[in-house]
Amino acid sequence: MDKVITESGMDFISTNTYHIEQSRLYASLGEDVRSVEFIRAKDDALLFVEAKTTFSNPENSEENFQTQINDICDKFIHSLNLYSSIKVGVNEETFDIGFAPPEKISLIFVLVIKTHEKRWCRPIQQKLVSTLLSYLKRIWKPEIYVLNHEAATNKKLTTL
């Protein structure tokens, strides 16, 4: 059986994973820096994975919805910066043993929301894409996905 990381009531497959949220570097930076749960190298992609139990509905509270979107965008951006600072040697942190991303990768930002219906994910994905900084999209060209637990399991990110 694969090792797992449990977040927001879901078991994520942790093969070839750097648990950035549990790293010494992240813990040393204080509250101004946000992080996704973990980074996983899968095939030729580097997945930045954030997990949530629930997420606001924009029809009920646009303000709360935008606040949550901004929070997720910050986590993706800060985590990419943390990863890059380790990779180029700016920080003395090292990656977990067994974490070996390929040299040439594509970036994928993934938000997994446990209790969401599949049809609710697309509006969140569209808002994340429109909110992420334009320079980030031009330089790093990340793909962005919002999945519910079932879809994450189908993509072999989580177990049931």
Per residue in 60-106, pLDDT (tens digit) is 777 789 999 999 999 999 999 999 999 999 988 999 888 999 888 99
Q: What backbone phi and psi angles, to 5 degrees, belong to 138? A: -80, -40
Q: Strand, coil or helix: what is 69?
A: helix
Distance CA 118, CA 126 (A): 14
pLDDT at 2: 66
Residues present in the chain in total = 160
The tens digit of pLDDT for each residue in 10-26 reads 999 999 999 999 999 99
CATH of segment(s) 4-159: 3.40.91
Determine the Cα–Cα distance for residues 24 and 48; give it in Å rounded to an integer. Answer: 18
Domain range summary for the chain, segments of one domain joined by +: 4-159
| pTM of model > 0.85 | yes
